[in-house]
Amino acid sequence: MPDVSIFHRPKLAGQLADQILHTSPTSASPSGVFLAAPRRTGKSTFVREDLRPALEAKKAIVIYVDLWADRNVDPSELLAAAVRAEMGEHANAVAKIAKGFGISGGKVGGIDFSLDRIGIGKDVTLAQALGALSDEIKQPIVIVIDEAQHALTTQAGMDSLFAMKAARDELNSSAHFGLRLVCTGSNRDKLAMLRNSRDQAFYGAPLVPFPHLGEDYIDWFCKHVGLPAALDPAAVFELFKKAGWRPELLGAAADALRFDFGIAAGDVPSRFAEAVDEQIEGATSETLRVVRALTPLQTAVLLVLAQSGDNYRPFEAATVEKYRESLTAAGEPAESAAKVDVPSVQAALQALQEKSLIWRASRGVYALEDASLREVLLDTGSGADPAAPAQM
C-alpha cells in the first residue's frame, strides 16, 4: 500500500519517466534531462518516492546520488560511490571488469577486484564500469543526480560530468542498452550552467521547470492534517502560494496548532493562517538576520550580485564602482568606499561563501546560494539599486 505520510504524484512521475526513456532521432532527451525547482518545494521527495519507482517499473536500473548529501566530500567521489554501490549488486559485471583489466584487490562477490578502483583518475573509468553493467543487466540505466549544479564547484566534479557524457555516448550506441541522465537543481541559473555553453558536458539538454505542488496536494494536506477542525482547501491553497509553494511551512504551521491543546475548533482556520504567516516571517527574518550581520562591504557585494544576476562580473571596474555606490548609499564614509579594491572584494566573496549566502563554480562564476534570497532582499528594500537614491 502507498505510504499515506507522503503525497505521491504518480501521473507526473509516469509522464516524466516516459519522456526520459523515450528514444527519438529528433529528441535531445538522450543528452540528459534537467529539472529545476526552488529548494524545499518537494522536488527531492518526488524524485525518490515517485520518479525512481516509475522508472524502475519501466525496467530501468536507477542510480541515485545527492551531491548535497555530504558537502565535505567532492561531488565526483559521491557520484563514483553511487556507481560502485550499484556495481556491487552485480557480480558478473564486476567479474567482467576484473578479467578485462587484470586488477586484483579486495574481494567483492568472491571476485578479486576492489570497487574503489572505479572512478575519476582510477584504473576503471565510470564509462567502462557502466558499460560492463549495461552488458550484464541488459536494461537501460538512469542516473539521477540531485543538486547537480554542485558538480561545478570542483574540477573533479566537472570531470565527472564529462565522464558521464562519455558513458552516455557509449551506452546509447547500439552495442549497449541505453543510459539516461536526470539532473535536478534548486537554482535554475546554476543548473543552466551545465547545459548552456558548448564547453559543458550536456550542452543543449532540455531544462524543464519542475511543476510545483498544486491543489491536489492541498486537498491531500487538508484531509490528513489532523487538526481539531477542518481547513478550507481553497483558503489553504492561497496560503500555500503565499508561502512560495513550500510544503514544510504548512507542516510547521500545523504542528504549532497541534501543540496548542487549548485551541477552540472554531479558531483553527484563522490560527492556521496566522501560523503560516509566522512561518513565512520567521524564514525571512532568519535570512535577514544573517544578512544584517555582514560587514558593509560584504553587504554591498551581496546586493550587487543579487541585482546583476547572470551579468555579474565581480572584479570589473564598473562593478567595483557599484560596490562603492552601494556603500555610499548605505551611509558609509566616502573614504571607506574609496578603499574598495579587488583584494577586498575577493575577501568579501570568500566570507559570503563561508556563510552559505553565495555559491562559486570552479571557473569563478558566482551566484546566490538560494535564489529566494534575491526576492527577500528586494522585498525588504535591502536590494535597492545602488545607483538610485538611497532608500535606507
Q: What percent of the chain has pLDDT over 90?
A: 47
Q: Are residues 85 and 60 in the same domain?
A: yes
Q: Determine contact, residues 120/76, Cβ cutoff 8 Å.
A: yes
Q: For residues 222 and 198, what is the distance between their CA atoms, to the nearest angstrom? A: 47
Q: Are residues 34 and 87 in the same domain?
A: yes
Q: Are residues 119 and 201 in the same domain?
A: yes
Number of domains in the chain: 3
> Any idea which of 90-104, 151-165, 178-192, 328-342 has the lowest mean pLDDT?
90-104
Given 3-state DSSP classes, what are the helix, strand and coil percentages for the chain, each rounded to the nearest 5?
55, 10, 35
In the chain, what is the greatest distance between 2 CA atoms, to the nearest angstrom? 74
236 or 122: which leads in pLDDT: 236
Write out the residue range of the structural domain in which residue 193 sits.
10-209
The answer to the question of residue 388 being in a domain is: no
Average pLDDT over the chain reads 85
Q: Are residues 252 and 154 in the same domain?
A: no
Q: Determine contact, residues 177/139, Cβ cutoff 8 Å.
A: yes
Res 385: pLDDT: 42
Q: Are residues 159 and 30 in the same domain?
A: yes
161 or 118: which leads in pLDDT: 161
User: pLDDT per residue over 261-283, tens digit each?
Assistant: 889 999 999 999 999 999 998 88
Res 125: pLDDT: 78
Q: Are residues 156 and 264 in the same domain?
A: no
User: pLDDT per residue over 185-200, tens digit each?
Assistant: 888 888 888 887 777 7
Q: For residues 222 and 214, what is the distance between their CA atoms, to the nearest angstrom? A: 13
Tell me how far CA of residue 267 lies from CA of 63, 225, 227, 283, in angstroms.
47, 16, 11, 24
Res 388: pLDDT: 39
The answer to the question of residue 266 being in a domain is: yes
Burial 222-238 (b: 16+ CB within 10 A, else e): beebebeeebebeebbe
The answer to the question of residue 390 being in a domain is: no
Q: Are residues 195 and 299 in the same domain?
A: no
Q: Are residues 32 and 151 in the same domain?
A: yes
> Any idea which of 136-145, 249-258, 322-331, 357-366 has the lowest mean pLDDT?
357-366
Tell me how far CA of residue 379 lies from CA of 115, 285, 295, 351, 376, in angstroms.
51, 12, 21, 24, 5
Res 26: pLDDT: 57
User: pLDDT per residue over 310-346, tens digit each?
Assistant: 889 999 999 999 999 999 998 999 988 999 999 999 9
pLDDT bucket at 391, cuts 50 / 70 / 90: very low
Q: For residues 146 and 60, what is the distance between their CA atoms, to the nearest angstrom? A: 18
| DSSP labels, 55-120 | HHHTT-EEEEEETTS-TTS-HHHHHHHHHHHHHTT-HHHHHHHHHHHT---SEETTEE--GGGBST
Among 184, 209, 234, the domain boundary falls at 209
Q: Are residues 286 and 298 in the same domain?
A: no
Q: Are residues 227 and 80 in the same domain?
A: no
Q: Determine contact, residues 15/21, Cβ cutoff 8 Å.
A: no
Res 1: pLDDT: 45
Mean pLDDT of 121-128: 74
Mean pLDDT of 362-388: 68
Among 165, 185, 209, the domain boundary falls at 209
Res 110: pLDDT: 41
Mean pLDDT of 155-178: 87
Whether residue 296 has pLDDT greater than 90:
yes
The answer to the question of residue 385 being in a domain is: no
Res 109: pLDDT: 40
The answer to the question of residue 2 being in a domain is: no
pTM: 0.80
The answer to the question of residue 257 being in a domain is: yes
Among 243, 258, 290, the domain boundary falls at 290
Q: What percent of the chain has pLDDT over 70?
A: 85
Q: Are residues 81 and 186 in the same domain?
A: yes
Res 106: pLDDT: 42
The answer to the question of residue 5 being in a domain is: no
Whether residue 386 has pLDDT greater than 50:
no
Burial zone of 212 (CB within 10 Å; 0-12 exposed, 13-18 middle, 19+ buried): middle
User: In this structure, what CATH number is given to the domain that contains residue 105?
Assistant: 3.40.50.300
Mean pLDDT of 162-173: 87
Q: Are residues 285 and 298 in the same domain?
A: no
Q: How many CA atoms lie within 13 A of 225 on its CB side?
A: 30
Res 97: pLDDT: 67
The answer to the question of residue 389 being in a domain is: no
Res 349: pLDDT: 96
Q: What is the DSSP letter of 48?
A: I
Whether residue 135 has pLDDT greater than 90:
no
